[in-house]
Amino acid sequence: MAINKIALVGAGYMGGGIAQIFAIAGHPVTLADADAETARRNLDRLISEARDWQARGLFQPGAAALVEQNLSAAESIEAAVADADYIQEAVSEKPEVKDQVFRRIEAAARPDAIIASNTSTLPIGGLAKSLTKADRFLGVHFSNPAPFIPGVEVILHEGTDESLVPQVEELVQSTGKLTARLKDSPGFVLNRLQYALLKEAISIVDDGVASAEDVDIITRTTFGFRLPFFGPFAIADMAGLDIYRDCFRTFEEHYGERFATPEGLKKLVEAGHLGTKSGGGFVIPAGDTTDLITYRNTAYARLQQLLNELGQAPGVK
Ligand SMILES: NC(=O)c1ccc[n+]([C@@H]2O[C@H](COP(=O)([O-])OP(=O)(O)OC[C@H]3O[C@@H](n4cnc5c(N)ncnc54)[C@H](O)[C@@H]3O)[C@@H](O)[C@H]2O)c1
């Protein structure tokens, strides 16, 4: 089944942005919210936002017209989902609200409709319990702000029918996004990593090592500067896995078990995989890295040019 008609249940901040990008990709999208009036208000907001973003060059020419043409507001959840191929839920992150909404969706949707949740942290398997038949249910987690952040987590719970996942990935990719397929786990990948970083950042401030402002400076101007281009595995491969192993030893000595050398790293180093310098690493195989180094240097220099052009984020100390 090719996905065409989409229902977006919970047309707030995230749901609204997701609706805009599906509309720009050419899909008819029906918005539902807590009541008809809220859905209509959100529709008006999404159209005027799209016009503003197009005028600023943030949306391509023609995008605002597609939003206006393809978005509509429904009187109720039931009316929005009745004929939808794909139903994206983005209501508040409250299990009791999501539970009630999923029950209403299932009662009104076609049995062959795919139902997806945008939850940030709630396990998909837990949400699946609200449905009597959850094989066509999965997590499709857009990031904030949805129109502009390219990565989307696609999360399968134990009962998700894997055969429908490629259609969902294709749908999301048709909006220009990149997808990663994940197993269900609280916080998935994005928030588990992001919260680990925030937790350590707060501990650094609480320990009196640096101010919050200085932690933010170090984060965005050092390792964070690499992150638009490389994830932690590629960064470690380029730095040298033996170096990382040695650094973990120091961390473990001072911070204890929570910073112990991970087994996966130990095994690679013991097998002679030290990253790009020798034997290859987690994600970069052994071989000539001349092109990679040129890409990396160009990427960092160009990013600095963009930052110079944009200047300091307003209102951030
Ligand atoms: N804000 C973020 O940074 C972010 C990022 C990724 C994922 N998420 C997730 O996306 C979901 C929505 O978050 P948000 O930030 O857009 O919240 P939001 O408050 O902006 O939007 C929620 C919408 O759901 C509607 N709603 C509430 N109860 C409803 C009901 N019973 N029936 C229909 N609609 C109802 C609200 O009126 C509102 O329009 C949450 O699960 C959240 O965890 C949020």
Q: Is residue 192 one of the residues assigned to a domain?
A: no
Same domain, 109 and 254: no
User: What is the residue-wise DSSP string for 172-229?
Assistant: HHTTT-EEEEEE--TTTTHHHHHHHHHHHHHHHHHTTSS-HHHHHHHHHHTHHHHTTT
- Give ligand 1 pocket residues (Cβ under 6 A): 9-15, 33-34, 38, 77, 90-93, 97, 101, 118-120, 143-144
pLDDT single digits (tens) 19-41: 999 999 999 999 999 999 999 99
- Kindly state the greatest CA–CA separation across the chain: 63
Domain check: are 43 and 116 in the same one?
yes
Mutate to test the pocket of ligand 1, among 45, 87, 92 (most ligand atoms within 8 A of CB): 92
Model confidence pLDDT, tens digit, residues 109-134: 999 999 999 999 999 999 999 999 99
In the chain, the amino acid numbered 286 is: A
Residue 16 CA: nearest ligand 1 atom is 16
pLDDT at residue number 317 = 87
Q: Could you tell me if residue 253 is inside a domain?
A: yes
How many whole angstroms from 15 Cα to the centroid of ligand 1? 7
pLDDT at 201 over 90: yes
Report residue 2's pLDDT band, with 50, 70 and 90 as the boundaries: confident
CATH label of the domain that carries residue 264: 1.10.1040
The CATH number covering residue 100 comes to 3.40.50.720
Whether 160 and 22 map to the same domain: the answer is: yes
55: DSSP letter: H
- Is residue 189 situated within a structural domain? no
**254-271 tens-digit pLDDT:** 999 999 999 999 999 999
Distance, CA 166 to ligand 1 centroid (Å)?
26
Share of the chain above pLDDT 70, in %: 100
Number of H helices, E strands in the chain: 14, 8
- Beta-strand pair 151-156/178-183: parallel
**Are residues 258 and 113 part of one domain?**
no
59 and 53 in contact (C-beta within 8 Å)? yes
What is the Å distance from ligand 1's center to 158 Cα? 25
Is residue 148 domain-shared with residue 94, that is, in the same domain?
A: yes
What was the pLDDT predicted at 224? 97
Q: Say if residue 61 is in the same domain as residue 133.
A: yes
Find out whether 70 and 23 touch, Cβ atoms under 8 Å: yes
- Residues 17 and 151 both lie in one domain: yes
User: Using one digit for the tens of pLDDT, what is the confidence trace for 71-109?
Assistant: 999 999 999 999 999 999 999 999 999 999 999 999 999
Range of the domain at 283: 222-310
- 112 and 160 in a single domain? The answer is yes
Domains held by the chain: number: 2
Given 154, 183, 212, the domain boundary residue is 183
- Pocket-testing residue among 33, 75, 91, ligand 1, by greatest number of atoms within 8 A of Cβ: 91
Q: What is the pTM of this model?
A: 0.96
User: Collapsing DSSP states into helix, strand and coil, what is residue 29?
Assistant: strand
Query: How much is the average pLDDT of 236-242?
Result: 97
In a domain, 62, yes or no: yes
